[in-house]
Amino acid sequence: MSDLRIAQPVHNTKLADWQHVHNTVIPTHVLSLDDVRDRAGRNHLEVAYLGNELVGCSTVRPPASGTGAATVIARVLAPHRGCGFGTELYERGLRLARELGAQTIETVVLSSNEDGLRFAENRGFVETERYLLPGDTIPWIDLRQPS
C-alpha cells in the first residue's frame, strides 16, 4: 500500500480535481463540472492524492442491469505513472465492483492513451469493441476481463 489519500469527490474542490484528471487524460472528451456532478450521481468516483498533490482519479460504474458487468476505470496523471498508483486505484475499484455484484469487469480506454491500454492489457483485459463517439476522431476501446 502506498501513501495515497483517496476520497470521494462530494464537494466542488474535489469534483474539480476529478474533472482535471479526467480532462487531462482524456483531452478529446472534456467534461464540465456539471457533467462531473451528473457522473457522481450515477457512479462511484474517487480522487487520489500523494500528500496534497493530485495523482489520479477513478470511476466505478455499477453493474449494468441484466448483464452483471461493471466498468472500472483508473486514471493517473503522467508524472505519477509507473509508481503503482493506477494499480491501487484499479484494485479499489475492482473490490467495489465485486461488492456491488459485478460478475464481469469492463473498462474503456481512449485509443491514443497507450499507457492506459497497456495497463488494461497487463491486467488481462481484451478488446471487445472499438468505436467513435459523435464528433470524435480518436476511437474509444471497450475491454473486458475474461471470466
pLDDT tens for residues 25-68? 999 989 999 999 999 999 999 999 999 999 999 999 999 888 89
Question: pLDDT per residue over 85-105, tens digit each?
Answer: 999 999 999 999 999 999 999
Nearest to 22 by CA among 41, 4, 39: 39
pTM of the shown model: 0.94
- C-alpha span between 115 and 112 (Å, rounded): 9
Quote the CA–CA distance of 119 and 110 in Å, as a whole number: 12
In this structure, the number of other CB atoms found within 10 A of the CB of residue 140 comes to: 18
Distance CA 98, CA 127 (A): 21
Which uninterrupted H or E stretch holds 7? strand 4-7
